[in-house]
């Protein structure tokens, strides 16, 4: 063999080795130390590939918020079926609809969720899903700040301009089959991206991101008393960890000090964020995504008939912070938390001068009881809503028995009504106290009263 052909063989051998090794990446390669020296906690990145990631993960620009003038109508004043966004002003409601279209269905437009020309129609399943998605987004941003911080998410974080987000998961229909002879497969030896193309089970998600399975490979007890760390759980745990690393574009040392994967002592704070993330994803799958199953058409369901679900990659898409941490949710306060219900003052009613409200009392007593409390209460509310109205209060007494005592009683009853009105927010300057009067004739019960008379 000549020297040159030997060299050629050598080159071919090197080429084959590179091809077969599978994990070869064209340089340059850069590394950033993330832990103490000697711990091997290093993040390895290739700036050439990073550049492509940057382009694919740019957040779209937000349109400016619509200024709200006092008196601007709310969505619920104008529209019919607004169960989530009813308390948002119409200007920003329309702005959000436009943004949702850009985030979820830019090609299909408004009609992806709406029947042409009839926005209040509720017949499309996409509208029902979108309504639940609005609530889910509000929940992520308000209840899971332990994970998403102040950065938060919008529909775009998951959807990226597509009605069906990339990187979602379904239950593995074949994993649980297998029978006695085929053995226990659980999707093993069927390289899937979900498990980083390893021969690990490809669907650890039902156990850990839908169920509350213990993500553990070592038992916390000396003897295997409770069988938490079975081989099955060990394989699922590693498969899940491959998914974490793949979803975030990091290696294991991003969250672990690899000398001991179990201990939290040497783990970076990112592991705690991930811990909350696991709980958040479980909640989203259980409370929002899985229950949407019956809403979807059959074709949208997985091979086991279940609804599409989220995992880490659904938001992260290869980055440790989705969209490089762009805080676009801040531009849409209505997505940060459920919109507070706008309390309106009751409409002003005209209270004509001369209107009389009667408050009745028990024999011999001057305290308010039963219906009298309600009467004074509702009068106080009506006066609070009509601040220009002034009233006079006068007590009545009958002449039977000791007249002086009766007058004293009438006076005390009038004071009780005044005090109750004041307590209900009516200023003293709006109340005039009149002298008690004797009732001439009439029923006895009618005599034991105080009148509130509108005088202005
Ligand atoms: C991704 C789905 C989706 C897209 C796309 C979408 N909408 Fe909506 N739209 C909804 C949902 C969900 C509601 C109900 C909100 C609620 O319950 O508070 C709604 C409600 C409405 C209503 C109120 C109708 C009523 O009377 O009840 C109007 C108007 C509206 N959208 C206009 C638009 C316009 C205009 C566009 C396009 C620029 C658009 N929407 C795009 C999901 C969508
Ligand atoms: C945490 C990630 C996530 C966020 C945030 C999110 N979605 Fe979704 N969305 C999903 C998943 C997962 C599905 C199921 C995919 C499928 O339908 O196959 C989905 C499905 C949908 C669908 C049904 C698509 C179809 O054709 O089946 C609509 C419409 C939708 N989302 C609208 C929205 C809107 C509007 C928002 C923001 C208010 C939003 N989503 C926020 C994850 C998300
Ligand atoms: C994004 C952060 C993150 C990454 C990346 C990550 N892990 Fe984990 N890992 C965790 C968290 C959080 C737990 C604990 C889960 C719990 O307690 O619910 C965990 C648990 C484990 C456990 C179980 C420890 C025990 O108590 O038995 C092992 C083993 C493990 N990880 C190995 C790995 C390996 C190997 C990799 C790389 C392929 C990796 N992890 C990548 C966050 C991460
Ligand atoms: C609903 C979207 C969403 C899902 C799903 C999600 N994350 Fe996150 N995650 C975020 C956001 C947003 C941030 C950025 C928070 C910030 O800027 O403080 C983040 C941050 C993190 C960080 C911290 C990164 C850093 O550099 O500090 C880790 C670790 C992490 N996520 C792990 C996970 C893991 C593991 C899962 C799956 C179990 C997961 N995430 C699922 C949205 C999500």
Is the predicted pLDDT of residue 176 greater than 50, yes or no?
A: no
Using the predicted structure, report yes or no on whether residue 271 has a pLDDT greater than 90.
Answer: yes
Q: Which residue has the tokens 């000791």?
A: 402
Percent of the chain with pLDDT over 90: 53
Which atom of ligand 3 is least distant from the CA of 216?
27
Instruction: Output the pLDDT for position 128.
Output: 97
Closest C-alpha residue for ligand 1 atom 39: 110
Label residues 343-366 b or e (16+ Cβ within 10 Å = b).
eeeeeeeebeeeeebebbbeeeeb
The better pLDDT of the pair 447, 8 is held by: 447
Are 120 and 130 within 8 A, CB to CB? no
Ranking 62-66, 303-307, 349-353, 431-435 by mean pLDDT, the lowest is 349-353
Which of 315, 320, 325, 327 is the pocket-test mutation for ligand 4 (most atoms within 8 Å of CB)? 315
For the residues 101-127, what does the mean pLDDT come to?
Answer: 96
pLDDT at 289 over 50: yes
Average pLDDT over residues 378-402: 85
410 pLDDT higher than 80: yes
User: What pLDDT is attached to residue 448?
Assistant: 84
Residue with tokens 């694919």: 56
pLDDT value, residue 56: 86
Mean of pLDDT over the chain: 85
DSSP state of 394: E
Q: If pLDDT is split at 50, 70 and 90, which confidence band does 116 have?
A: very high
421 pLDDT tier (thresholds 50, 70, 90) = very high
The answer to whether the beta carbons of residues 242 and 261 sit under 8 Å apart is: no
Give kind and range of the element (H or E) at residue 276: helix 270-284
pLDDT for 401 equals 76
Average of per-residue pLDDT across 92-103: 97
How far is 286 from 277, CA to CA, in rounded Å?
A: 14
208 in ligand 3 pocket by Cβ < 6 Å? no
Output the residue whose Cα is nearest ligand 1's atom 2.
Answer: 113
Q: What one-character DSSP code corresponds to residue 63?
A: P
Query: What phi-psi label fits residue 413: left (phi over 0), alpha (psi between -120 and 50 degrees) or beta?
Result: alpha
Is it the case that residue 175 has pLDDT exceeding 60?
no
Distance in angstroms (rounded) separating the CA atoms of residues 36 and 42: 10
Average pLDDT over residues 296-317: 95
Label residue 442 left, alpha or beta by phi (over 0 means left) and psi (-120 to 50 means alpha): left
Q: Which two tokens stand for residue 359?
A: 């408050």
Is residue 181 very low, low, confident or very high in pLDDT (cuts 50, 70, 90)?
A: very low
Contact of 409 with 449, CB cutoff 8 Å: no
Look at residue 382 in the predicted model and tell me its pLDDT: 86
Instruction: Give the integer Cα–Cα distance in Å for 283 and 289.
Output: 9
Q: Which residues are bridge partners to 358 per DSSP?
A: 451
Residue 102: per-residue pLDDT? 97
Distance CA 292, CA 309 (A): 10
Kindly give the interhelix angle for 403-423 and 371-385, rounded to the nearest 10 degrees.
50
- Which of 85, 86, 90, 97, when mutated, tests ligand 1's pocket best, judged by the most ligand atoms within 8 Å of its CB? 97
Kindly state the average pLDDT of the residues 1-20.
Answer: 53
Query: Of 454, 385, 450, which is closest to residue 420 (Cα–Cα)?
Result: 450
DSSP string, 157-221: HHHTT-SS-SS-B---TTTT--HHHH---TTTTS--GGGTTSSS-S--HIIIIIS-----SS-SS
Quick one: average pLDDT of 125-136?
A: 97
pTM of the model: 0.78
Whether 417 is in the pocket of ligand 2, judged by its Cβ within 6 Å, is no
Most confident of 24-38, 254-268, 399-413: 254-268
Between strands 437-438 and 391-397, the pairing is parallel
Q: Identify whether the C-beta of residue 452 lies closer than 8 Å to the C-beta of residue 359.
A: yes
**pLDDT score at 435:** 87
Helix (H, G, I), strand (E, B) or coil at 403: helix
Q: Is 131 in the pocket of ligand 1 (CB under 6 A)?
A: yes
The b-or-e profile of 131-149 (16+ CB within 10 A means b, else e) is bbbbebbbbbbeebeebbe
- In this prediction, residue 340 has a pLDDT band, given cuts at 50, 70 and 90, of confident
Kindly list the structural domains of the chain, giving each domain's residue range(s) and its CATH number in brackets, ordered by start: 356-454 (3.30.1330.60)
Q: Is 313 in the pocket of ligand 1 (CB under 6 A)?
A: no
Distance CA 27, CA 29 (A): 5
Give residue 179's pLDDT: 38
Site of tokens 């063989």: 9
3-state secondary structure of 357: strand
> Which segments of 105-213 does DSSP mark as H helices, in order?
125-143, 145-148, 155-159, 179-182, 205
The predicted model gives 333-344 an average pLDDT of 88
CA of 139 to the centre of ligand 1 (A): 20
Asked whether residue 185 carries a pLDDT value surpassing 70, the answer given is no
Residues 198-236 have pLDDT tens digits of 777 878 999 999 999 889 887 666 665 665 567 888 889
What was the pLDDT predicted at 197?
A: 72
Closest CA to 243 of 318, 140, 153, 306: 318
């Amino acid at each position: 063999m000549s020297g040159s052909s030997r060299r050629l063989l050598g080159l071919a051998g090197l080429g084959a080795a590179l091809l077969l090794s599978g994990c070869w990446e064209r340089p340059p390669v850069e590394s950033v130390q993330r832990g103490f020296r000697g711990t091997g906690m290093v993040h390895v990145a290739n700036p050439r590939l990073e550049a492509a990631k940057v382009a694919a993960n740019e957040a779209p620009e937000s349109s400016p918020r619509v200024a709200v003038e006092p008196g601007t109508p709310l969505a619920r004043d104008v529209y019919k079926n607004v169960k989530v966004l009813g308390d948002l002003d119409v200007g920003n409601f329309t702005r959000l609809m436009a943004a949702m279209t850009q985030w979820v269905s830019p090609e299909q437009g408004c009609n992806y969720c709406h029947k042409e020309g009839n926005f209040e129609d509720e017949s499309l399943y996409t509208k029902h899903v979108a309504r639940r998605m609005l609530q889910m987004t509000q929940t992520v941003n308000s209840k899971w700040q332990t994970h998403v911080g102040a950065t938060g998410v919008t529909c775009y974080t998951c959807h990226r301009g597509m009605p069906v987000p990339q990187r979602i998961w379904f239950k593995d229909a074949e994993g649980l089959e297998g029978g006695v002879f085929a053995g226990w497969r659980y999707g093993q030896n069927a390289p899937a991206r979900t498990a980083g193309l390893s021969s690990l089970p490809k669907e650890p998600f039902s156990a850990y991101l839908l169920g509350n399975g213990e993500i553990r490979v070592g038992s916390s007890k000396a003897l295997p008393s409770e069988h938490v760390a079975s081989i099955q759980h060990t394989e699922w745990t590693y498969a899940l960890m491959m998914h974490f690393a793949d979803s975030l574009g990091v290696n294991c040392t991003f969250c672990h000090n690899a000398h001991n994967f179990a201990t939290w002592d040497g783990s970076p704070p990112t592991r705690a964020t991930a811990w909350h993330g696991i709980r958040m994803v479980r909640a989203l799958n259980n409370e929002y995504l899985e229950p949407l199953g019956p809403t979807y058409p059959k074709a949208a369901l997985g091979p086991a008939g279940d609804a599409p679900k989220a995992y880490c990659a659904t938001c992260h898409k290869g980055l440790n912070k989705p969209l490089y941490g762009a805080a676009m949710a801040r531009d849409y306060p209505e997505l940060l938390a459920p919109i507070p219900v706008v309390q309106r003052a009751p409409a002003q009613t005209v209270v004509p001068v001369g209107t009389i409200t009667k408050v009745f009392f028990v024999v011999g007593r001057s305290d308010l009881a039963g219906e009298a409390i309600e009467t004074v209460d509702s009068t106080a509310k009506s006066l609070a809503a009509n601040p220009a109205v002034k009233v006079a209060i006068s007590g009545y007494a009958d002449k039977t028995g000791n007249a002086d005592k009766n007058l004293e009683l009438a006076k005390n009853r009038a004071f009780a009504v005044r005090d109750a009105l004041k307590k209900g927010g009516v200023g003293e300057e709006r109340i005039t106290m009149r002298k008690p009067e004797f009732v001439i004739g009439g029923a006895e019960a009618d005599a034991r009263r105080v009148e509130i008379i509108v005088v202005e």
